[in-house]
Amino acid sequence: MVAAALVITARLGYWQMARHDDLGELAVNLRERTMTEYAKRGDIITSDGVLLATDIFYYEVTAHPRLIQNPKEQAQVLAPILNLSEAELVEKLSDQRQQTVMLTLTAPVTAGKQLTALRNAGKIGAIEFVAKPQRRYPGGSLAAHLVGFTSASRSGAYGVEQYFDELLRGRDGQIRAEADALGDEALPFDLPQGSPALNGSSLVLTINSALQSIAEREVARGVQEFGARSGQILILDPQTGKILALASYPAPDLNAFATTKLDAYADPAVSLPYEPGSVFKAFTLAAGLDSGKISRGIVLNDPGSVVIGGRAIYNSDRKGYGNVDLVAAMAKSLNVIASKIALATGPKTFYQYLHDLGFGTLSNVDLAGEIPGTVKNPGDGIWYESDLGTNSFGQGIAVTPLQMANALAVIANGGKLMRPYIVERIIHPDGSVEARSPYMVRRVLKPETAAQVTDILSRSILTESTNKANLPGYTIAGKTGTAQIPVPGGYDPKWTIASFGGYLPADNPQYVILVKIDRPQKSPWGSQVASPIFAAVAQQIAQLTGLPPDDIRKAMSK
């Protein structure tokens, strides 16, 4: 008896003292579970409050067929809630070979409430349902390229989704709570322990949904009307560098990223370089005037060709125009005069201006995938003297549409290079707001030079009879471009990139607009393809924003 008592006492001592900790832990683990509490990724909103991206919750519903006694009855109850057929459910719930079967990944959030009620009423059993966030884009393809998307693994890809991924994603929580045998927190006896989820910060963009819609509609119409392959329209606030709209066509549906080719999401406005063609002459002109190598009243002779570095440069129509002033040179888009201005400016100064205008370097816009473009410089080893001539009219140089629009903004705003930006405010989960301010990178042009270039560009548009960029009632400044497309061994003999870059109103620029249409079939010319699109966009902007025509605006300001 004594021995038996001693054995029992020793055994009890062993269980109670020696194994106290691990057995206690085992007991806790039986009634408690560590569960992931998913963080809600931050919203992306336009400056006028239109929701572009948000997280919504779906329930993942799984079943344990071996524990289900009455699959038919359960299927009957579950079918309308999960939006599945009863037969399909019966088959899944009766599959005794499987320990766990997935019923659906996308039961709506309302299903969770119904499932909880049914479980509490004892009408369903051995069913697990876990709410998980999924990224959704209410506008579909609205601002698709600049928003980007969030993959199934919850990582941002492209656009602001990628650039601000760390801020947007937040942090998933790990909570420990009492749960039933299936891991569901069916009986919340106590407050859960652990680290709760921390939701991500939300982003308020600089873009305006109405301006974005106008840009998207017009670029789509332009591409379709002229049988082009693709196109972009950018609208910038030249005073601040705010991107007001950035549209590319074709644009992918952000909700269909799983079935869309990834390269469709790359933003051509920052990721796809192109040779800009004659729009670039505005910068050659600015460099010549600002450096003092040419004056506003200069008259230059155009014999029809000029030889630079042993290479003859001609006008696009191979004609010579004799003595021309700067307005005529811009209106007729004379390559020979642009080359002569670049020659007068000198390579060192000319390329310094190009660099200062932001070409060949990243603009540091807050969008993923930006590339710097290509500008050859004297002394590079790949630069030839003839490049000075061809670069002066936008050939042999690769830029992004955003660099072009931002450099035009330098002329429009009086000579300052602003850093373009897309995120205006960051709203943190604690409610604090981080406002982002315009940032001036450097002064590039003297205000007088910028005013002179604006004057020349606006006069040249008025005198260019074939240009369709004019907008009745408003003075605009801008330049057309018809660029050849480089291919291995030279230039594509058939296709062009038609573009127009301009701003309005010319005397107090508020909107810089760049229109770029890639490989138009009906006409190769920027003045015929891109200019009317510019005018349509400018007209709608003026009406939408209540920008009065010049005469009324001037009368109002008196």
Partner 1 sequence: MQALPLLSTLRFALVAIAAFILVAMVYLAQASNAALIARELRVKQLKIQEVERENAQLRYEIAALASPSAIEQRARKLGLGPAKRVVYAEMPWIQPPPNELMPAFLPDANFDIVPQTFQADESATLAQLLSVLGLKNLSAYVDAQTK
Question: Which parts of this chain interact with partner 1 (CB under 8 A)?
Answer: 40, 50-51, 54-57, 108-110, 112-113, 131, 136, 138-140, 142, 177, 185, 188-192, 209-210, 212-214, 217, 471-473, 536, 539-540, 542-546, 548-549, 551-552, 555-556
Q: What are phi and psi of 250, to 5 degrees?
A: -75, 150
**What is the C-alpha radius of gyration for the chain, rounded to an integer number of angstroms?**
32
Nearer to partner 1 by Cβ, of 12 and 552: the residue is 552
Nearer to partner 1 by Cβ, of 135 and 479: the residue is 135
Nearer to partner 1 by Cβ, of 118 and 451: the residue is 118
What residues have CB less than 8 Å from 288, skipping those under 6 apart? 294, 341, 342, 344, 345
Cβ 538 to partner 1 shortest distance, Å: 10
Extended beta strands in 108-158, E state: 127-136, 149-150, 156-157
Q: ∠ at Cα 207 (201, 210), nearest 5°?
A: 125
Nearer to partner 1 by Cβ, of 382 and 556: the residue is 556
Nearer to partner 1 by Cβ, of 315 and 458: the residue is 458
Cβ 42 to partner 1 shortest distance, Å: 12
What residues have CB less than 8 Å from 499, skipping those under 6 apart? 276, 277, 279, 404, 480, 481, 482, 483, 514, 515, 516, 517, 526, 530
Cβ 366 to partner 1 shortest distance, Å: 23
Task: Count the helices and strands in the chain (H runs, E runs).
Answer: 19, 23
What residues have CB less than 8 Å from 251, skipping those under 6 apart? 141, 144, 145, 216
What residues have CB less than 8 Å from 30, skipping those under 6 apart? none
Nearer to partner 1 by Cβ, of 118 and 131: the residue is 131
Q: Which helix (H) or strand (E) holds 319?
A: none
Cβ 67 to partner 1 shortest distance, Å: 24
The residue written with tokens 């320990």 in the block is 99
Whole-number Å distance between alpha carbons of 143 and 69? 51
Nearer to partner 1 by Cβ, of 76 and 114: the residue is 114
Nearer to partner 1 by Cβ, of 328 and 530: the residue is 530
| Three-state SS at 221 | helix
Nearer to partner 1 by Cβ, of 417 and 471: the residue is 471
Nearer to partner 1 by Cβ, of 80 and 138: the residue is 138
Nearer to partner 1 by Cβ, of 179 and 450: the residue is 179
Cβ 276 to partner 1 shortest distance, Å: 27
Six token digits for residue 349 = 């100064």
Cβ 297 to partner 1 shortest distance, Å: 32
Cβ 144 to partner 1 shortest distance, Å: 12
Cβ 536 to partner 1 shortest distance, Å: 6
Whole-number Å distance between alpha carbons of 466 and 449? 27
Cβ neighbours, 10 Å, residue 379: 9
Cβ 131 to partner 1 shortest distance, Å: 6
| Three-state SS at 370 | coil
| Three-state SS at 529 | helix
HEC sequence for 60-84: EEEECHHHCCCHHHHHHHHHHHHCC
Q: What are phi and psi of 485, to 5 degrees?
A: -110, 120
CB contact at 8 A, 74 and 127: yes
DSSP state for residue 90 in the 8-state scheme: H
279, HSE (Cβ side, Cα atoms, 13 Å):
38
Cβ 229 to partner 1 shortest distance, Å: 23
Cβ 519 to partner 1 shortest distance, Å: 24
